Structure 1
Amino acid sequence: CVLLYPSLSFSFSLFLCVSLVIMAGTVLLAYYFEYTDTFPVHVQGFFCYDKSFSKPYPGPDETSKVPPVLVYSLVTAVPTITILAGELMAFFMKSEGTQEKTIVTADCCYFNPLLRRIIRFLGVYSFGLFTTTIFANAGQVVTGNQTPHFLSACRPNYTALGCQSNLQYITERRACTGNPLIVASARKSFPSKDAALSVYSAVYTVMYVTLVFRTKGTRLTKPTLSLTLLCLAMLVGVVRVAEYRNHWADVLAGYFTGGAIAVFLVTCVINNFQQTKPPPLPLRPQRPESVLGMPMVALPCVESPLEKLSGPQVRGGGG
């Protein structure tokens, strides 16, 4: 890594390379979960004629009132625009707590404080976005919980399976006669990925707005914006349940996953969006009067005329 960035200091080069490797690994893992069959979905059995999984098939996700394209666009655009607007406003208005010194990493490399904060906040947000995707996809693959419309997508042949009552449990892997892609998608219900991403984006943005924005004109600006973002995130989960794409347990688990990751990154990784305070200056040695219990009062320093005299002049005056 140091050879790739010879103009940067060793510590900064190491930090940059480690961050890039972690980010690349996170993106790659999210890609394998989302677009490949590297991690096969766990196949769970089901009861014959189970009413919990017998809801009508709502169609592909693209036909939803809140399609994935819309969700992914909003969770990417809203925090990015909010952070860019907030940092620009804070920088030009000289907001307290957002002013940082220019970082010098080498003789030729300087980092503007505005650019440094934007890269830090958006970089951590992007990392959390892919992490949330990995957690949600991993939960879906490991559990293999069925969606409310699973039996409509599976289309099992109850006669061939010998279903005599609702208490008979089917464990055969070839019990479904429907489209294999639709059946595989119907086995990925817990937790709800759209709910997790929506809440992660909303909580991260709300915490940024609450901790960074300083509004003097009205006290309702930040609460209104924060509640609006949270309500929109909650609405995604409600739509998923209303369209029989997820159970309430799936949506609540998605809410918890996204919210927990956002809170952890804000509080533990970037320290509530605040600049780290410098260590306090060492205390000066106490004067004798402070030791005797007398209060010390800060007075202006006045140079005594005697201090201007040199040693020989003082001795000469005394003779």
Structure 2
Amino acid sequence: MAGGRPHLKRSFSIIPCFVFVESVLLGIVILLAYRLEFTDTFPVHTQGFFCYDSTYTKPYPGPEAASRVPPALTYALVTAGPTLTILLGELARAYFPTPPSAVPVIGESTIVSGACCRFSPPLRRLVRFLGVYSFGLFTTTIFANAGQVVTGNPTPHFLSVCRPNYTALGCLPPSPDRPGPDRFVTDQGACAGSPSLVAAARRAFPCKDAALCAYAVTYTAMYVTLVFRVKGSRLVKPSLCLALLCPAFLVGVVRVAEYRNHWSDVLAGFLTGAAIATFLVTCVVHNFQSRPPSGRRLSPWEDLGQVPTMDSPLEKNPRSAGRIRHRHGSPHPSRRTAPAVAT
């Protein structure tokens, strides 16, 4: 209830649920993401290739750490950027509440668990939004790594690190009579290069860096759009959201320019991250809206806020009101029977 004392609600299941359910699920997701990316528990699918295929003959750009956007920088941005934005937004919402003249916000209850633990609405919102964001970040990593493991799509520099022996494989070089590739190689031992580099060069679709950036940007942009309140300007929030989109787009451009991914890999990563973020925001945190203190679900009209109302003209026109009363069974004023006069 806005402007009043916070509602108190006792719950002895919030701490066990957080420790034994949500923390366990988050730990399982983190472990699965680690297994998919840093171990060979799930071997990468070995996809064949055509001899002298120009799609995969780009020069080797070097290790991932030598990129202009290394993985360490990407992970730092997708972790720190949304976390700081949500933290600042929730602190501003707690210390600078909405004025009474604005759209009223239905607050949540302060949950009391046991004799010492009190969970205020700002703390619950902060933990909820950051927890869901962390869960989605590792989920996006799982989706991207699983797609790479299942498809085994080669990178543009795959043949540069594979170094196949075309003579032993029976491949003939392109000629004016045969301008295109002439044979599809499916041999497991066709590559003579480093096994680690070859395995890494088979993990292109979808682009994991693009998926993580798209997830972080979509989640943060939806938070800014749905939570922030800016008076007097309609361009502040769109400008901030577009500024957040620029780094994600640049990451995709760099991945393609350095021959680490194809455009299709980057687009698939963008769609994967944006879809996961949209699902979590709309279906899990319910567009970052507060929950009613009594557990009652809000109707669509209450969720939209206070709507200006108009007085009904029927209340101001006694003639129309009399017709309505007559229609519902009340006698019409003009047809009332006159009282009997004693003679």
Q: Is TM more than 0.5 here? A: yes
Contact kept, 8 Å, 1:189 with 1:250, in 2: the verdict is yes
1:72 aligns with 2:80: no
Structure 1 residue 161: deviation in Å? 1.1
Letter in 2 for 1:275: S
Structure 1 residue 97: deviation in Å? 3.2
1:145 aligns with 2:153: yes
Name the count of aligned residue pairs: 279
**SS at 1:100 equivalent:** coil
1:208 aligns with 2:223: yes
Identity of aligned residues (%): 62
Contact kept, 8 Å, 2:161 with 2:193, in 1: the verdict is yes
> 1:90 is matched with which residue: 90, 93, 118?
93
Contact kept, 8 Å, 2:57 with 2:157, in 1: the verdict is yes
Matches of 1:280 and 1:133, distance apart in 2: 34
* Deviations 1:167-224, CA, capped at 9 Å, x for gaps: 2011111111111111100000000000000000000000000000001143221111
For 2:277, the equivalent position in structure 1 comes to 262
1:35 aligns with 2:32: no
Contact kept, 8 Å, 1:139 with 1:190, in 2: the verdict is yes
> Where in structure 2 are the equivalents of 1:1-319 lying within 5 Å?
9-10=12-13, 13-14=16-17, 16-95=19-98, 96-97=104-105, 99-164=107-172, 166-277=181-292, 279=296
Structure 1 residue 20: deviation in Å? 1.2
Structure 1 residue 116: deviation in Å? 1.1
Letter in 2 for 1:22: L
**SS at 2:52 equivalent:** coil
For 1:299, the equivalent position in structure 2 comes to none
Matches of 1:139 and 1:98, distance apart in 2: 42
Contact kept, 8 Å, 1:147 with 1:186, in 2: the verdict is yes
Matches of 2:106 and 2:169, distance apart in 1: 66
Structure 1 residue 98: deviation in Å? 7.5
Contact kept, 8 Å, 1:156 with 1:176, in 2: the verdict is yes
Matches of 1:14 and 1:223, distance apart in 2: 38
Contact kept, 8 Å, 1:8 with 1:109, in 2: the verdict is no
Structure 1 residue 293: deviation in Å? 5.8
Q: TM-score, normalised by structure 1?
A: 0.83
Matches of 1:159 and 1:268, distance apart in 2: 56
Contact kept, 8 Å, 2:56 with 2:157, in 1: the verdict is yes
Letter in 2 for 1:97: V
**SS at 1:94 equivalent:** coil
Structure 1 residue 276: deviation in Å? 2.2
Structure 1 residue 239: deviation in Å? 0.9
Contact kept, 8 Å, 2:205 with 2:265, in 1: the verdict is yes
RMSD: 2.1
